[in-house]
Amino acid sequence: PTAAPGVAIVQRTSGTTGTHRAVAIDHRRVLAQVAGLAAALQLSPADRIASCLPLHHDMGLVSAVLLPLCCGIPCVHVDPALWRSDAAALLRATTEHAATLTWLPPSALSRMVRRVNDRGLELSSLRQIVTGGDVLGHAPAAAEHTGG
């Protein structure tokens, strides 16, 4: 698609590196981000996304709204409040909808590794878990994987 002039979205920064602020993002940059992700992930019409990210969060907005909308990829969204109380909710949605992609910050992925022990999940459709958004050190990840 051709980018229209002007602001597409106003995104509130996380405040990780300073004070929260609003950042205006133009259409060209939004479309470039979506096109770059689609190429990097090698999206195809067979892909399906499962997400539990809040839609006001930049990772949730891009992965669960803009990418599926612009690329015609179905997306199932698990309410973040449900996921916080039931860490397996996203994995059940992945199983039920045969999702091929999901996005999680490393801390959320660690939470699922620690709390989910459901052998009835069928995750063979999942070809990528995309992580980003916060830092997870090597030692905590190894301890969670080994149960330490």
At residue 99, φ and ψ (nearest 5 deg) are: -65, 145
Give residue-wise pLDDT tens across range 76-121: 999 999 988 888 899 999 999 999 999 888 888 888 878 777 777 8
Question: Measured in whole angstroms, how far is the alpha carbon of residue 59 from the centre of its chain?
Answer: 6
Question: Residue 111: what pLDDT?
Answer: 81
Cα separation, 29 vs 18, whole angstroms: 23
Q: What is the pLDDT of residues 46-63, one digit of tens each?
A: 999 999 998 888 888 989
Give the Cα separation of 101 and 116 in Å (integer). 18
Tell me the residue length of the chain. 148
pTM: 0.78
What's the mean pLDDT in 119-137?
78
| Residue 139 confidence (pLDDT) | 45
